[in-house]
C-alpha cells in the first residue's frame, strides 16, 4: 500500500497544481480528513463510522454495498488520496454516504490520472475538490477529463462550468449522442456559446435531452412566431422546454377565453410574457377575475401591458390596488386606470414615495393599512361598497 500511495503522490506532486492548495504529503489528522484504519481486518459499518465519519444509520445503509470488502487496505488508499487532495472530513463523509463504492475506486489507474488530466485543463486544486463533491459518481471515469475539456470551451470559464454541473446532470451526459448534436442545433438557431450557457443554466437538462426533444422545442418556439436568431428565441426555448404543441395550443386557447383576447392579442401576449405558458389555469383565472371584474381593466388594456399578469396577486397587486382605490374614493387621486398599472409595476420604494408619503397628513393610517393588506388582511378602510 505504501508503495502504491508513494507512486500516486509522486505523480500528483509533479503536476502544475502542486503550488495551489495544501501539500499532498501532509499527515492525515482528524480535523482535516478521516483517519486511516490500522486494523488488518474490516467490520464495514464500524469502519464507515470511525474512519469515514458516517453516522450509524448512514453506515448501516452503505455497508450493504461494501460487504465484499475483507480488508481496509483499498479504502485506506482512497481516503489517503482524498485527504491529500484537500477534502475535509465532512466532505468525505458526504461523498461516501452518497456513493459507498467510491471507496473501491482504483486510485493509481483512475483517480490519480483524472486529477493530473484536470490539472492539465487548468483547474486549480480547489476546483478539483469542488468537482469531486459535485460529480463524484463520474470522477471514477477517466472520460470525465475529455468531457470537461469540451464543456470548458463551450461555457467559457470554470465558474460557468461549475454552475451548470451543480444542476447534477451534465457530467454523465452522452457527449457525442446528445450534447454535441444539441449544441449544433442551437447554434443553427442563432444562439452563440454565451446564450447556450445561459439556456443551460435556466433550462435544466436541455443539452442532455434527446436531440429530437430539442428539435421539438425549436419547432414550438417557431410555432409561437419567434424566428430563429431573434433576441427572444432563447427565452422562448426556455418557456416551452417541457411543453408539447398540444399543451401550448391548449394554454393559448385558455388565455383567449379567460382574458377575452383576440387571437392576435393572445399571440402578442405570449411572445411578450412567455412565462404565462407555465402558469396554472387556477392562477390565470384568479388574475383575470381580479383585474377585469374588480379593478375594471379592459382586456385590450391588459394585453398591451401583459407584464401585470406576472405580478403576485396577494402581497403585491391587491394591496397596491386598495391604496389607489382608497385615494380615488377620497378625492386624493384622479380616477384614471393608468394609475393602477403604474402602481403595479414600480418598485416598493417608488410606490411608497408616489402613493403613500404625499398623503401622510390627510391619511396618516394609509401606510399601516397598506402594510396590513400586504400580509393578506384587508383593513376596514380598504373595504369599498
What digits encode the pLDDT tens for the residues 31-56?
334 444 444 446 888 999 999 999 99
Residue 129 counted as domain residue? yes
Indicate if 156 and 95 belong to the same structural domain: no
Indicate if 71 and 90 belong to the same structural domain: yes
Question: What band does 172 get if pLDDT is binned at 50, 70 and 90?
Answer: confident
Query: pLDDT at position 42, please?
Result: 65
Indicate if 71 and 94 belong to the same structural domain: yes
Indicate if 279 and 364 belong to the same structural domain: no
Question: What band does 385 get if pLDDT is binned at 50, 70 and 90?
Answer: low
Read off the pTM. 0.68
Query: pLDDT at position 230, please?
Result: 85
Mean pLDDT, residues 81-109 taken together: 92
Residue 247 counted as domain residue? no
Q: How far apart are CA 228 and CA 234, in angstroms?
A: 9
Residue 12 counted as domain residue? yes
Query: pLDDT at position 43, please?
Result: 85
Return the DSSP state at 176. I
- Last residue of some domain: 125, 141, 157? 141
Q: Supply 91's cell numbers.
A: 466532505
pLDDT > 90: percent of the chain: 53
Indicate if 268 and 164 belong to the same structural domain: no
Residue 5 has pLDDT above 50, yes or no: no
Residue 248 counted as domain residue? no
What is the number of domains present in the chain? 4
- Last residue of some domain: 212, 242, 272? 242
Residues of the domain holding 16: 2-141
Indicate if 168 and 230 belong to the same structural domain: yes
Burial (CB count within 10 angstroms: exposed 0-12, middle 13-18, buried 19+), residue 85? buried
- In this predicted model, which residue has the larger pLDDT, 334 or 160? 160
Query: pLDDT at position 140, please?
Result: 84
Query: pLDDT at position 41, please?
Result: 46
Phi-psi region of 168 (alpha: psi -120 to 50; beta: other; left: phi over 0): left
- Last residue of some domain: 87, 109, 141? 141
DSSP H helical ranges for 42-124: 44-50, 56-63, 73-85, 89-98, 112-120
Indicate if 292 and 326 belong to the same structural domain: no
Indicate if 10 and 137 belong to the same structural domain: yes
Indicate if 95 and 187 belong to the same structural domain: no
Radius of gyration of the chain (CA): 29
pLDDT tens track for 117-167: 999 999 999 999 988 888 777 888 888 999 999 999 999 999 999 999 888
Indicate if 194 and 264 belong to the same structural domain: no
Q: Please, which residues have CB within 8 angstroms of residue 71's CB and are 6 or more apart in sequence?
A: 40, 41, 42
Q: How far apart are CA 298 and CA 261, in angstroms?
A: 10
Residue 224 counted as domain residue? yes
Indicate if 66 and 114 belong to the same structural domain: yes
Residue 76 counted as domain residue? yes
Indicate if 7 and 136 belong to the same structural domain: yes
Question: What percent helix, strand, coil does the chain show, rounded to 5?
Answer: 70, 0, 30
Q: Supply 289's cell numbers.
A: 377575475
Q: Please, which residues have CB within 8 angstroms of residue 161's CB and are 6 or more apart in sequence?
A: 148, 151, 152, 155
Mean pLDDT, residues 166-185 taken together: 90
Distance from CA of residue 362 to its chain's centroid? 47
Amino acid at each position: 500500500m505504501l508503495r502504491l500511495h508513494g507512486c500516486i503522490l509522486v505523480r500528483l506532486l509533479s503536476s502544475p497544481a502542486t503550488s495551489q492548495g495544501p501539500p499532498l504529503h501532509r499527515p492525515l489528522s482528524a480535523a482535516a480528513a478521516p483517519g486511516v484504519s490500522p486494523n488488518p481486518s474490516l467490520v464495514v459499518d464500524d469502519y464507515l463510522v470511525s474512519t469515514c465519519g458516517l453516522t450509524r444509520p448512514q453506515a448501516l445503509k452503505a455497508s450493504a454495498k461494501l460487504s465484499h470488502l475483507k480488508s481496509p487496505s483499498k479504502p485506506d488508499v482512497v481516503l489517503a488520496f482524498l485527504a491529500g487532495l484537500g477534502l475535509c472530513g465532512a466532505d468525505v463523509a458526504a461523498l461516501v454516504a452518497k456513493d459507498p463504492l467510491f471507496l473501491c475506486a482504483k486510485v493509481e489507474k483512475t483517480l490519480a490520472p483524472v486529477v493530473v488530466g484536470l490539472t492539465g485543463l487548468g483547474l486549480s486544486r480547489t476546483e478539483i475538490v469542488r468537482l469531486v463533491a459535485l460529480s463524484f459518481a463520474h470522477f471514477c471515469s477517466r472520460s470525465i477529463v475529455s468531457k470537461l475539456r469540451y464543456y470548458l470551451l463551450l461555457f467559457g470559464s470554470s465558474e460557468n462550468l461549475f454552475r451548470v454541473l451543480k444542476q447534477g446532470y451534465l457530467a454523465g451526459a452522452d457527449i457525442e449522442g446528445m450534447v454535441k448534436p444539441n449544441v449544433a442545433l442551437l447554434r443553427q438557431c442563432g444562439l452563440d456559446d454565451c446564450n447556450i450557457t445561459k439556456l443551460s443554466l435556466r433550462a435544466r437538462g436541455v443539452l442532455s435531452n434527446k436531440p429530437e426533444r430539442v428539435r421539438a422545442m425549436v419547432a414550438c418556439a417557431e410555432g409561437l412566431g419567434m424566428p430563429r436568431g431573434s433576441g427572444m428565441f432563447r427565452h422562448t426555448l426556455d418557456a416551452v422546454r417541457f411543453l408539447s404543441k398540444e399543451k401550448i395550443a391548449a394554454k393559448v386557447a385558455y388565455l383567449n377565453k379567460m382574458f377575452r383576447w383576440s387571437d392576435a392579442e393572445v399571440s402578442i401576449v405570449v411572445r411578450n410574457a412567455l412565462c404565462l405558458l407555465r402558469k396554472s389555469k387556477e392562477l390565470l383565472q384568479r388574475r383575470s377575475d381580479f383585474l377585469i371584474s374588480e379593478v375594471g381593466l379592459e382586456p385590450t388594456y391588459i394585453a398591451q401591458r401583459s407584464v401585470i399578469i406576472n405580478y403576485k396577486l396577494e402581497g403585491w397587486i391587491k394591496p397596491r390596488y386598495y391604496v389607489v382605490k382608497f385615494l380615488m374614493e377620497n378625492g386624493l387621486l384622479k380616477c384614471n386606470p393608468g394609475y393602477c398599472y403604474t402602481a403595479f409595476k414600480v418598485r416598493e420604494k417608488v410606490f411608497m414615495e408616489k402613493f403613500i408619503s404625499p398623503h401622510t397628513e390627510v391619511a396618516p393610517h394609509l401606510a399601516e393599512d397598506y402594510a396590513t393588506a400586504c400580509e393578506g388582511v384587508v383593513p376596514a378602510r380598504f373595504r369599498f361598497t
